[in-house]
Amino acid sequence: MQPTVPVTRSKKTRRLWPKRRLWRVLASLGLVVVLALVATSGTGYYLMQKSLPVVEGQLQLTGLSASVSVWRDEHGVPHIEAQNEHDLYLAQGFVTAQDRMFQMDLSRRQASGELSEVVGEKALSRDKFFRTFGLRRAAEASLSAYSPEARSALDWYAEGVNAYIQQAKANHALPFEFTILGYEPRDWQALDTLTIGKYMAFDLGGHWEQQVFNYSLAQTVSTEKALDLSPSYPVHAPTIIQAMKDNPLDLQSLFAEAVKPNPFNGSNNWVVSGSKTASGKPLLANDPHLSLNTPSIWYETNLKTPTMNVSGVIFAGIPGIILGHNDKIAWGVTNVGPDVQDLYIEKRNPANPNEFEYQGKWEPAQVIHEEIKIKGKSALAYNVTITRHGPIISEFAHDNHPDTALAMRWTALQPSTELEAVQRFAKATNWEEFKSALTYFQTPAQNFVFASPDGTIAYRANGLIPIRQKGDASAPVPGWTGEYEWQGYIPWDQLPTTVNPPAGFIATANNKVVSDSYPFHLSNVWAQPYREQRIHQVLSSGSKLTTDDMKKLQFDATNLQAQEFVPLLLQQREEPALRDIDRKALDLLSDWKFEDQVNLGAPLVFNLWESELPNVLFKPDVSDEMFDLFEDKANTVDQLLRHAAQGSPGPWVQEKGGLSVVVRTALQKAVDRAVEVQGNDPSKWRWGDYHMIPFHHPLASVKPLNLLFDPAKTELPGSKTTVEAAGWNTKTGEVDHGAAWRTVVDLADLNQTFNVVGPGQSGNRLSPWYDDQIVDWTTGGYHITSTDPKQYNQNGHHLTLTP
């Protein structure tokens, strides 16, 4: 399929603002970098300018059955109007590729284990990891599970992406990043879309890391200390720990290079009944927490046909809208975080490394022969071994243990149909229809909240969650006995569900969502409760709530963790071992209102103290490699402190000298760190000078490309435990995790919603929409996205796609 070359681009689009924007970029660079870029700046500017998307005029695209209108509003949000779904999804693929083609290609390569082909040997370990996990194999197995209608939408979307690729190649107008790396993207396939979907299941986790940590811990510390870090272990935990001791694997070095999802990946969402709102209709708010990069992980879009009008966000590379609203309903998600991954210790046949014991017999494993292409080198032959439980994940790092191996069973490695559900969300008109669509959403399990103008608010924890014959996913289990197999999944009609509760609102923040009386096991690992507690505080005390109240709550920086633990710190004020600067730091905390605001020094002291506590408590007993796999570290530290403060210190606290010594040692380390980064005058310390968001571009690790592609760093309030979630790198202070998208919906008017996407819509450095939303995103601002043509076509750019 060969689309014709564009007829025209307007001068406004092609000539005026790109040049001004380039010189603003160059003016922001250091002199040395400018001189280094001078030789190539002409070519670089030409290529970046040439790759800007056509946003006005007309383009002919082979495959369309009728004309499609694409209006981009003042923030670059495309409103795609088509006469049928074929043209709609073809156009969505084309338009998304215009803004995000490099991101899309990188996403499918990462999930498929194909990065080495374009970036070289440095990505080989990552490629081995994802080849072993087999996200692309799982996506391929899922293709046949889709209905003809949903499969068609995947194919139509791929047609649109390929129309863009062919046009960009013909016009030498691919994004500049492809030129830097020296390759061109191959054609898009439906399989690429599903593979990206499987990667999101990986990114939202299933707690294999915590199981590996528990396994390693059992090899290195006493049973008493192992249990002290796992208060949720059942009564038979010592037996499981002994099984781990009896079947050792060297996991510390093995998983040093494993790809580990951010343990704070999650979200906030809530719905409020019309009985508590000013409009008399429900309010819905959602802010998913994932990595924060340039471009955003989210792409905001409005899709329209004569029978459908849906608006919200989607991952670049996937058709439809996964989070948002249509003319009748609105919905949002957070991560349930259930235990959907089990690690099995497999006994290998010493005479045949591809056979593993099961109930007294040797079973042959499946061996998949992979070939990993490496830029500048010969391709690498790589084998993946799959037992009855799943892939041997201990082999990606060349584990050659003769007797045992570690296999993983995971719901996402089975065929699943999440994008079928996405297509059905768009057409649902009430709770029953939306709930029916959820039957197709299997992995990752998500907390869905729902609202409709008829007053209904609802919640459901939805997805495949295993029922285990024995064990609770707290640690790797023997795979050869048959005792620890799955016995199916929690029945769909028994998944946690709430409709129109008496409290008048429903909120989730990756917290524990069921009581101890719930008959099925969900998870051993939950987020710290502080975000949900703060949301509950505000919503339970509020009446006549408005969208402004919801926006304010999404950006709320109240730190309830600090409120709980600062008294422990202040008890240290009279300790003779404290230095003068330590007391000055405590003075900042004594007057603090427990808000992580950028202009205060107290948040710097508390958050650095909180980050030092695990180091004080667990090192050197826990190695650096295993430290990164300690997924439940934050909750565990909180619990150790609580127990100690209540007079029941565990062995970890006792061995470090008791609670007072632990608190004081971490404080002094935090103060030393604060002095290192902001000087020795605590009165001048500012959280915002440390806690800054860089929105790194994928090529930013190659200096000086960071100065070209990264937006300027911006200070940000909040922290890991505030509703305004802003996780940060403890070594640099850089914010790397949070709500890349925030939305607030008043069901009284579904024609407009309040949204913000950080840093912006476009992946092209010269686009006015590359980082134009950073100010709003970092200060609690929003833009209005309207689905009313009278609104978005007033000041928008209009592109017509014709057959």
Annotated ligand binding at 342? The verdict is yes
How is residue 386 annotated by DSSP? E
Residues 760, 695 contacting (CB under 8 angstroms): no
**Which of 116, 267, 311, 611 is labelled catalytic?**
267
Helix orientation angle between 602-618 and 560-570, rounded to the nearest 10 degrees: 80
Q: Which residues of 175-196 are buried (b: 16+ CB within 10 A; e: fewer)?
A: bbbbbbbeeebeebbbbbbbbb
Nearest to 607, CA basis, from 790, 729, 755, 504: 729
How is residue 734 annotated by DSSP? B
Q: Where are the alpha helices (DSSP H) in 69-147?
A: 85-112, 116-119, 124-133, 135-143
Nearest to 255, CA basis, from 114, 128, 389: 128
Q: CB 750: neighbour CB atoms within 10 A?
A: 20
Pairing of strands 78-81, 298-305: parallel
Q: Tell me the two tokens of residue 131.
A: 């080849």
Residues 592, 572 contacting (CB under 8 angstroms): no
Count Cα neighbours of 412 within 13 Å in the Cβ-side half-sphere: 28
Nearest to 440, CA basis, from 93, 111, 142, 135: 142
Q: CB 590: neighbour CB atoms within 10 A?
A: 11
Question: CA dihedral defined by 486, 487, 491, 494, rounded to 10 degrees?
Answer: -80
| Whole-angstrom distance, CA of residue 158 vs CA of residue 146 | 16
Lookup result for tokens 């427990």: 594
Pairing of strands 741-746, 283-291: antiparallel
Give the dihedral sign, CA 505/508/512/513.
positive
Nearest to 237, CA basis, from 525, 473, 480: 473
Q: Tell me the two tokens of residue 137.
A: 């194999």
Give the containing element (helix H, strand E) for 298.
strand 298-305
Bond preceding residue 444 cis, omega within 30 of 0: yes
Instruction: Please confirm, yes or no, whether 416 is among the known catalytic residues.
Output: no
DSSP string, 578-598: --HHHHHHHHHHHT--SB--T
Annotated ligand binding at 681? The verdict is no
The one-letter code for the residue type at 283 is L
What's the Cα-to-Cα distance from 265 to each of 211, 411, 465, 514, 695, rounded to whole Å?
Answer: 18, 18, 19, 20, 17
Q: Where are the alpha helices (DSSP H) in 371-462?
A: 418-425, 431-437
Q: Tell me the two tokens of residue 185.
A: 């993207």
| Secondary structure percentages of the chain, helix, strand, coil, to 5 | 40, 20, 40
The one-letter code for the residue type at 798 is H
Q: CB 11: neighbour CB atoms within 10 A?
A: 9
Lookup result for tokens 């459908």: 308
| Whole-angstrom distance, CA of residue 103 vs CA of residue 95 | 14
Q: Output Rg (C-alpha) for the chain, integer angstroms.
A: 27
Residues 108, 195 contacting (CB under 8 angstroms): yes
Q: Tell me the two tokens of residue 168.
A: 């960009």
Pairing of strands 298-305, 741-746: unpaired
Catalytic residue list: 267
Annotated binding site: 339, 342
Residues marked as binding for Ca(2+)? 339, 342
